[in-house]
Chain A
Amino acid sequence: MTLVHNWHLGRRMEYPYFESRPKRQFAAVFNINRCIACQTCTMACKSAWTYNKGQEYMWWNNVETKPYGGYPQSWDVKTLKLIDNGENTWFTDEKDEKLSPYGVYEGDTIFEAAAKKNINQWAVGYIPEDKEWRSPNIGEDVAKSNNKSDEYSSLPEHSRWFFYIQRLCNHCTYPGCLAACPRKAIYKRKEDGIVLIDQKRCRGYRKCVEQCPYKKPMYRGLTRVSEKCIACYPRVEGKDPLTKGRPMETRCMAACVGQIRLQGFLDDNPKNPVTWLIKHDKLALPLYPQFGTEPNIYYIPPRWAPRPYLRQMFGPGVDEAIDKFMVPSRERLAVLSLFRMTQSIVFEYKIEEGPKVFETMIHGKKFEMYNDTVIGFGEDGQEIVRTTIEEPIHIRDPKHLNSI
């Protein structure tokens, strides 16, 4: 093993290969607060990549209900039990903006747990059986409840609650799947950090299925090899004619009805909306950072769910992120307005200030809203989208009331 730096954990950790970050990293921000679990993303992926024989059970993208749902069933509980029995201990008194923005994780990662348990493979894991992969959202809308009469909706935390979590391959910086593959059939692309399974080198050993903590590689019985989310790489490379050569967001992102998703690249540009939300504003958090793979799909946590559960799921940054989300700053509101305004990947944003339009108090804090304009630029620096905080209202002429 070598030692690599994992900034989610704020420390170095053991990994079988050296640290080698891509030029820019495929990443996305999902706003859990807005998801309606319509599964349009799920179907967009299915109809593009997994509609074929032997892929019937595959949902490279799925939306599941927490705390009880899971695809495959109980994947999170089972993996958490393999590391620290679900304990998620962090030292948060000291933080470093770059190296340890959430503090330091004190438990074991999937790699460290494997070394400790001496199981002679790279990471802990398990293979879910076919029956565990039955549905993309089994247990839909099943809520957790304390069965008391007073439990109905009082914020800040509901005591009867559930929320949806949108899942696809995290194109991890330190992929468990890649570490697990004894044949090195899995590779992470230097140009965009997308993690792929080479369909020629794969021999169907299912070590990736076993050691991906997120359970996103899937075995295809028909071809006897494993497949996984390919981050719609032809679109990300700008090969889709629709965007005329510009990098384009993936199918599951572009199809999002709830407008919860923004995809782009994590890079060093502080004015890249994805980078800003993740690294600078810290509004979006990694899913189960304690697994240690440095996953690259980031979530704005749901504000109504109990904090201990959320801390276990997204780490110690949860409280700050929720506070920020409930009373958004001017810049934050502008960046959030970019979500789903275009299919082309936004590489940089600029805000043009507008007049104040609204003011209120939220949980004792003052909130002011300005009708700013936010402009998104593509890879080539050209403007690709422009939108305002207040959506324009169009009133239909009464003579067309019944027409489309």
Chain B
Amino acid sequence: MKRRLMLLKRYGFALLSCAFLSTSAFAAEDTAPGVKGASDEEYTPAKEVLTVKYVQMEKPYHLDVESLTGSFKDAKEVVIPLQKQDKAFPNGGGSVSNAEVKAIHDGLSIYFQVKWKDPTRNARAIAVQEFRDAVALMFPLGTVLMDPAEHFSPRMGDREKPVNLWHWKSDWEADMLVKGELEDVEAQYPNMHDDFNLNPYSAYYHRDLITSIAVLSGGRAARNLLSQPGRGRSVEDLNAEGFGTLTTQDHQDVFGCSRYEDGEWTVIFYRSLITEDPHDAQFVPGGNTFFNMAVWNGGEKDRNGQKNISIQWHPLSIERVAWQ
């Protein structure tokens, strides 16, 4: 019996591997390992259109949720159903079932307001077990046709079908409120001792250390935006061409602000309608495009593909400006 088991282990696997290889060769056309193919349903955009309402705005001195909410009052919301990400490894999410989106523009900038329920505010990712709350919007690059034949994935775009993503992070927003613009390790561990202080505003500021940063801090030396202090924004501007390809743009154009109240996040993204960056989605008044979105619940350890996603593109129609 033992021996038979062993034979199975040794040769059975070899046979299995042949079977496996042939199936994976067939499947390789549209999926990567650990990725399930999408259905036609997913390639068909949702019916309900989100209208980006044209409003004349007095630009407030401070762009924050309080001063901007008023401008959204006539914009009609679209409720986006969210679900667990179940196509690409690692799967996960499922704790946030929907989000409400509104959008406006003033002829210069476009604003998206996203609201969703989350009983816990997780706005720091310093301890190894802590993850941030976050939300992202995604737009196809250029003018695209969204029909099932096109196979434009609503998940992360696809090869030759690039998308532009705006990823708001709760901890980036918290970073902006502290001197040096990066919550330092002391924020999490107030009494922690360290020999070398990198915070240029600290009492122990040490010029030689700061300038030898390449040796001291891999993430910063590699110019990883996540590691940089003083980003000056809470939204990261990215591109992707399918699962695992997310890449930070060299030129960051998107901003955001947020409020957490009564178990609900309100996040506002804003950017000028048109930018000079060829990697950005462009919003032309009178035009149409699509968007999709995802929400991460840090309290549930959501990050990367472990997220709450909408599995369809949603049409976006940008109102003409008054003088058009």
Contact = CB atoms under 8 A, between A and B. Distances in A.
Interface of A: 1-3, 10-13, 16-17, 51-54, 56, 91, 93-94, 100, 104, 106, 120-122, 127-130, 133, 180, 182-184, 198-200, 202-207, 209, 218-225, 227
Contacts of B227: 199, 222-225
Most buried by B among A100, A183, A200, A205: A200
Contact of A183 (B9, B196, B222, B246): B246
A53 B184 contact: yes
Given A3-B14, A16-B34, 6 more contacts: A3-B20, A52-B196, A182-B243, A223-B219, A223-B224, A225-B219
Interface residues of B, number: 56
Contacts of A128: 128
B303 to A, nearest CB: 5
Nearest to A203: B226
Contacts of A220: 219
A220 B224 CA distance: 13
B185 A11 contact: no
B41 to A, nearest CB: 21
Contact of B17 (A2, A51, A56, A205): A2
B17 A3 contact: yes
B260 interface: no
A199 B216 contact: no
B125 A221 contact: yes
Interface of B: 2-3, 5-6, 9-10, 13-14, 16-17, 20-21, 24, 33-34, 86, 88-92, 125-129, 171, 182, 184-185, 188, 192-198, 216-224, 226-227, 243-244, 246, 301, 303-305
A224 B125 contact: yes
A106 B5 contact: yes
B128 A209 contact: yes
A127 B226 contact: no
Most buried by A among B88, B182, B217, B223: B217
A205 B127 contact: no
B312 to A, nearest CB: 21
A53 B89 contact: no
A202 to B, nearest CB: 7
Given A120-B90, A121-B91, A199-B221, A56 B193 contact: yes
A198 B128 CA distance: 18
Contacts of A202: 219, 224
Given A204-B226, A223-B219, A1 B20 contact: yes
B184 A182 contact: no
Nearest to B125: A224
Nearest to A122: B89
A182 B129 contact: no
Contacts of A54: 185, 217
A172 to B, nearest CB: 18
B185 to A, nearest CB: 5
A11 B185 CA distance: 45
Contact of B218 (A12, A120, A127, A227): A227
Nearest to B188: A221
A130 B305 CA distance: 23
B166 to A, nearest CB: 15
Contacts of A17: 33
Contacts of B182: 222
A121 B92 CA distance: 9
B217 A120 contact: no
B171 to A, nearest CB: 8
A93 B220 contact: no
B89 A120 contact: yes
A202 B217 CA distance: 14
B244 A183 contact: yes
A75 to B, nearest CB: 13
The 10 A-B pairs of least Cβ separation, nearest first, read A223-B219, A221-B126, A3-B17, A223-B227, A121-B90, A120-B91, A199-B222, A199-B218, A200-B222, A91-B6
B185 A222 contact: yes
Contact of B129 (A91, A104, A130): A130
Contact of B217 (A12, A94, A222): A222
A202 B192 CA distance: 25
30 contacts: A1-B20, A10-B10, A16-B33, A17-B33, A52-B194, A52-B196, A52-B198, A52-B216, A53-B198, A54-B185, A56-B194, A91-B2, A93-B2, A93-B3, A104-B10, A106-B6, A120-B86, A128-B128, A182-B243, A199-B221, A199-B222, A200-B222, A204-B125, A206-B128, A207-B90, A219-B128, A221-B128, A221-B185, A221-B188, A222-B185
Nearest to B224: A200
Contacts of B90: 120-122, 180, 182, 207
Contacts of A222: 126, 182, 184-185, 198, 217, 227
B217 A127 contact: no
Given A202-B219, A223-B220, A224-B219, A129 B9 contact: no
B196 A53 contact: yes
A130 B128 contact: yes
Nearest to A220: B219
Contacts of A203: 226, 246, 304
B183 to A, nearest CB: 9
Contacts of A204: 125, 226, 303
Contacts of A104: 6, 9-10
A223 B175 CA distance: 12
Contacts of B192: 56
Contact of A130 (B127, B171, B216): B127
B5 A91 contact: yes
Contact of A2 (B2, B24, B92): B24
Contacts of B10: 10-12, 100, 104
Contacts of A94: 6
A227 B227 CA distance: 12
Nearest to A120: B91
Contacts of A2: 17, 20-21, 24, 33
